[in-house]
Amino acid sequence: HSIGQNELQAGLSQRGNVSWAHMRRKFFELAHAGSSPIATEALARIVGLYRIEGEIRGWSAEDRLDPRRVSID
């Protein structure tokens, strides 16, 4: 089972930005079913993104750029 093109398109907002909540939910469903190691990896990376965003919340737009560019490991 894989995420189809229509499901990926559903994850896009009207402005063309990814809805992380929607995409995370799809990855969670796949990972929970045990059918996709890629979905499990995607969830781990999304957690990393949320961690970074939590740490830089309240910073100026300019100051948030560098932490967002750091590789998520």
**In this predicted structure, what is the pLDDT of residue 6?**
52
Tokens 């490991």 map to which residue?
A: 73
- Report helix angle 37-56 to 61-69, nearest 10: 150
Q: What percent of the chain has pLDDT over 70?
A: 70
Mean pLDDT value of segment 17-46: 83
Residue-wise pLDDT tens digits, 5-22:
455 445 544 445 567 777
- DSSP three-state, residue 60: coil
| Enclosing H/E stretch for 69 | helix 61-69
Quote the DSSP letter at residue 15.
Answer: T
User: At which residue do the structure tokens 């499901």 appear?
Assistant: 7
